[in-house]
Structure 1
Amino acid sequence: MEEVLAIMVVGMLFIGLPWMILHYVTKWKTSATITSDDEVLLEELYNLAKRLDERMDTVERLVASDDPSFTPVKRLLANQETDNQQLRELEQMLAEKKGAKS
């Protein structure tokens, strides 16, 4: 009976423990990457944010035409070079990704 128990403990120590560690390391590495569903969601959110920014520009332009004392809220402006750099990089990455899929 003690021999069976010893064999089980040795088996669990040399087979079960490494298998469990490698299993969870593999799970951890695969979960650290972004999935294709996440990429689609990010692209949709990016397009939505772009549309909302264009709408804000339109609203601010309309309000400014009605009220000359209106000053727009401090936010990212569409034509500032520093603000647009990250957007251009993101658009370039999306274009490259779409080109790779085609």
Structure 2
Amino acid sequence: MEKIIYTFQATKAINKRVHVGVVGSGDLEIIMEPSNDLNTQVMIRTGINGFKETWEAVLQRFFEKHDVAALVKINDFGATPGVVTLRLEQALEVSRNE
């Protein structure tokens, strides 16, 4: 099991805690919570080792586009970069809905 942590600067806060996805073959779950400061901290737990650079590229692209401050926990079970982006988009959408 590999644990990876990234921090990104942000300016826009999310308003509520959200949980999307499931930990299952080829998928992942994301828990996104409001942050108390203008940073996003992403904590990843994955059973697939050796993809740190791929994770960084996917997350960098997402948070440059969306600029949200949040605490993000990702539990991965072999999701592809496309699935990661989809789940992040889904979590952000749910966080914006009342």
User: What range describes the TM-score normalised by the shorter chain of this pair?
Assistant: under 0.3
Instruction: Compute the TM-score of the two structures, normalised by the length of structure 1.
Output: 0.27
Bigger Rg over Cα: 1
Instruction: Compute the TM-score of the two structures, normalised by the length of structure 2.
Output: 0.27
The structure with the largest helix share of the pair is 1
Using CA pairs below 8 Å that are at least 6 residues apart, which structure has the higher relative contact order? 2
